[in-house]
Structure 1
Amino acid sequence: MKPQYVIQTTADGSHTIYLPQLDEHYHSIKGAITESCHIYRDCALRHRAQQGFDRPLRLLEVGFGTGLNAAVSAEYSDIPIHYISFELYPLSPDISQRLGYDRPLIEAVNHAAWDTPVNITDTFILEKRQADFLTADLPCDIDIVYYDAFAPEKQPDLWRMETLRRTVEAMASGGVLTTYCAKGSIRRMLSALGLYVERLPGPPGGKREILRATKIAK
């Protein structure tokens, strides 16, 4: 059966996709753009970049989705970024275009070819991989992880200890992972994997807390 994609307006005026078959949204109904900018760009990318680098940052995203996280990250031009995103079921560019995100690079990231690195800007390389994150070979020396899978109740395999372990093993020392999911079980698993886990305030008008986990430098 062909998936149904229902476009809905979120609290900040931007749009998200609702999947009736999963009873799940691609972005928070409290504000799609607000969520992407706060949880991923600001609490992960900006935070990590401010620690100083003399090389491009390597960023791993779990779930390319609408391309919004990639687009707002590509706007951050303070440091070169190699952005690697896994998505098993890509949206067609026309569906993403119907969302009408007012971001300068949204069309570029959504129309970029799959399974090959693409220069979106002089400082941003996007590599979209159409593959199952659970079984794919993961890149190494990752500085930032955007863990933006659907909720644990909807995609439990992506939130199991072994999956999180593979993700952490792909991270460089000092790497950070952010996610909207602040469940106690997820906090405890990340902590058990040796990460320093912080509960941070969620995006304005949205979730009360989010997680940022740092791989302790050895």
Structure 2
Amino acid sequence: MRNPEKKTEIRIVLTSDGSSSVFNPDVNQHYHSIHGALQESQRVFIELGLYAAFERFGEIRVFEMGFGTGLNALLTLLEAEKNQRTVSYTAVETRPLSLEQARELNFDELLDCHYLKPLHEAPWNRPASITPVFELVKYEGRLQDFRTENRFNLVYFDAFAPEAQPELWTQEIFEQLAVMMHPGGLLTTYCSKGTVKRNLQAAGFLVEKHRGPAHKRDVLRAIRL
């Protein structure tokens, strides 16, 4: 069960495009690019992931490694509403923000919406209907311990960078995700390091390099073969 008193010692920061991010001193990492949290998530996860999934699949099941600020979930919800597409969204997070910390994020203001608060207030470890077309379930814990009978057609892989969490960028982790995915399913990530590409390929993915967001030359999209 989640301990409501547990808080991570973090601070909210502003990125170059005016959107919020979080800095976690324990791992010396920002949750999003300092060059623009919003534009990074839009490019890596929505343009390369969700839009492609909309074209390939009917009902969309998304799995996110790292719920974090909730920005990727928020952008996905807004696209689901805009396109009236049913999305089931599952996320795993080891360091949940407190509600007080989440209230400092400015995504609702920037995007002229009101969904970030209900995303963070949704209960842990059981489904919650945020809108008629968007269902969310958040699990607190490690990806390595996560088990599900569901199969996903889109994975947002948004773990901390390999230098901070090397255990999450291994062939074994990508094999675990491949088992959780439908054939032809998509995985997108901001990290394009050669070791990550090779580990994805060894786990049975076809890996594509794509133009990244600002100040990021390449990002990856992988297709589950």
Same fold flag (TM > 0.5): yes
How far does the alpha carbon of each residue in 1:64-83 deviate from its partner, in whole angstroms, 9 at most, with x for none? Answer: 00111101100012210100
TM-score normalized by structure 1? 0.93
**Residues 18, 26 of structure 1: 8 Å contact kept:** yes
Out of 89, 92, 111, the position equivalent to 1:83 is 89
| Counterpart position of 1:27 | 32
CA distance in 1, matches of 2:28, 2:40: 19
Counterparts of 1:1-218 in structure 2 under 5 Å?
3-53=8-58, 56-77=59-80, 78=83, 79-101=85-107, 102=109, 103=111, 104=113, 105-203=115-213, 205-216=214-225
Q: Is the 8 A contact 1:28 1:206 kept in 2?
A: no
Segments ≥4 residues shifted beyond 6 Å? none
Deviation at 1:140, TM superposition (A): 3.2
Q: Aligned pair in 2 of structure 1 residues 51, 136: CA closer, same or farther (>3 Å)?
A: closer
Identity of aligned residues (%): 36
2:34 match: secondary structure = coil
Whether contact under 8 Å (1:142, 1:175) holds in the other structure is yes
Letter in 1 for 2:184: G
- The count of residues paired between Structure 1 and Structure 2 equals 213
Deviation at 1:52, TM superposition (A): 4.1
CA contact (8 A) 1:115 1:128 kept: yes
Counterpart of 2:98, as a letter, is: S
Whether contact under 8 Å (1:10, 1:30) holds in the other structure is yes
User: Are 1:145 and 1:178, in contact at CA under 8 Å, matched by a contact in 2?
Assistant: yes
RMSD: 1.5
**What CA distance in whole angstroms lies between the structure 1 residues aligned with 2:53 and 2:152?**
11
TM-score, normalised with respect to structure 2: 0.90
Gaps of 5+ in 1: none
Amino acid across the alignment from 1:60: F
CA drift at 1:8: 1.5
